Chain A
């Protein structure tokens, strides 16, 4: 009987003791690249100190502060390596120090679950684009709305030819790893063909050497294509400087000195967009611009005669080449827009109804 009472007393004491109210749990962060651990704790203490054992086994403080919220995410860890954590909490009336340790190993997963919605949208849009390309291959004729900025290319080249002045093409300030620069170079290819046909000089100042070599190749091939390789002038496609405002100063100087009849600003632009476009405007050149940088578009709209807004820049090559396959892909963009509109409407409705899972799914909440 005495023994039973002793066990009961011990049990009551242990349940009520501060040590049992303090626990530490370390778990691998799910669906990640194995570089993070989620640490959670329960304690009656107001504040805690969280420490991690370094490679020598010495405790290093990684968090010190209030116990709530009782979670901490340790990041930038090495995958598949064991990590040990120590929680130090002062609890009870006499501020007894409780120490609890826990270990875990971060592991790499095979899928980012929070990106599932992106993957689904990407697959649906890509399949739609491929479907329309296939339809175009089978001979289906698609209606593509007119893009005045691209229709103006003939007008710009014609005007430059009439005035006997050059055309200036600025491929943006992005390097070749920027898709806007690639889109810009595809337009340059079409423009170079027209300028070669009309024997109009084309000036292409580049900010990066990689863009320079790609631009030279593109223009050279365009001149070859129209059978005028002898009129191609490599020195008119040149490197200026890597510096953003140095590049702008160089182009501004060129615009003022050489007075090009047509300016094309297509690609990635930042703070320099208005400086370029306003200088071009002051010289009286016909100006066409295009970028996907939403913050720079108002500047171009104000200062240029034609502006390619967002996706029009990426559609330009397909639009100009009139290649049925490429035009088919533009229909895929339209499907993507329709899908986005539908998803936004469903999202608004589900939020009004109170079903938050739809929004959470697209926000990537796990």
Chain B
């Protein structure tokens, strides 16, 4: 029963979602939205589980003085701080337990939660994202090292695309006559992106879609059960 009930739900809900994709009439047209709402409700409850896990794992590491335990402490304190300021004075239009914190707003220019979000969380998040620029450079360097015919081809294509997207590339081949305009770097770059690149991406997307159909069918029919924890 413990295993059969989830399998039945997976079968029933999976079939319902497929059917509602093709039938616009009620009640089928409302099924996907309703199931998504249910998912949101269950997710809402599951958040508590996540917070418990967060506290447990962090407290254990702090207690055991694991390497970098102070980071876990900083993480926990930040969590508690944001939780408290949000509870006390609310966020944006919504008030908290102590109202809107007018005097605090006068000093900070906004609510404490919004202030921390704007001036602590956002810069940290942007910093993390900006690391991408450096990682792209190091990854590109490795990818373009000439080792084989394929890596030669990759480097050549990359150089054309990079130059084609810059004003320098445009200037380099700007003198080409109209009859050989195709070889103008921006045009060549557009061609690579529009045709060979799109074709390869679509091939991946089509094969992934077929994989999704197969995977979903295995789950709906109960052949694939390991996501439930066991294949028995």
Tell me if B49 and A212 are in contact (CB < 8 A).
yes
The reply to whether the CB of B104 lies closer than 8 angstroms to some CB of chain A is: no
CB distance from B9 to the nearest CB of A (A): 13
Could you say which residues of chain B place their CB within 8 Å of the CB of A133? Answer: 223
Could you say which residues of chain B place their CB within 8 Å of the CB of A34? Answer: 24-25
Number of A-B contacts (CB under 8 A): 213
The reply to whether the CB of B217 lies closer than 8 angstroms to some CB of chain A is: yes
Majority SS of interface residues in chain A? helix
Q: What string of 1s and 0s marks CB contacts (under 8 Å) between B203-224 and chain A?
A: 0111110111111111100011
**Chain B interface: which of A58-66, A180-188, A345-353?**
A180-188
CB distance from B117 to the nearest CB of A (A): 11
A130 to B135, CA, bound (A): 44
Interface size, chain B (Cβ < 8 Å): 63
Interface size, chain A (Cβ < 8 Å): 89
The reply to whether the CB of A156 lies closer than 8 angstroms to some CB of chain B is: no
Tell me if A109 and B25 are in contact (CB < 8 A).
yes
Q: Which of A123-177 contact B (CB under 8 A)?
A: 125-126, 129-130, 133, 175, 177
A125 to B213, CA, bound (A): 8
Could you say which residues of chain A place their CB within 8 Å of the CB of B228? Answer: 217-218, 221
Tell me if B47 and A209 are in contact (CB < 8 A).
yes
Chain A residues in contact with chain B, CB under 8 A? 31-34, 79, 108-112, 115, 118-119, 122, 125-126, 129-130, 133, 175, 177, 179, 182-183, 185-186, 189-190, 206, 208-210, 212-214, 217-218, 220-222, 224-225, 235, 238-243, 245-246, 248-249, 253, 257-258, 271, 274-275, 277-278, 292, 294-295, 297-299, 302-303, 309-315, 317-318, 321, 323, 325-326, 329-330, 332-333, 336-337, 340
Q: What would be 18 A-B contacts, judged by CB atoms less than 8 Å apart? A: A110-B24, A182-B219, A186-B227, A206-B50, A210-B46, A213-B49, A249-B128, A253-B68, A271-B129, A275-B131, A278-B139, A292-B205, A310-B204, A310-B207, A310-B208, A311-B210, A318-B224, A336-B210
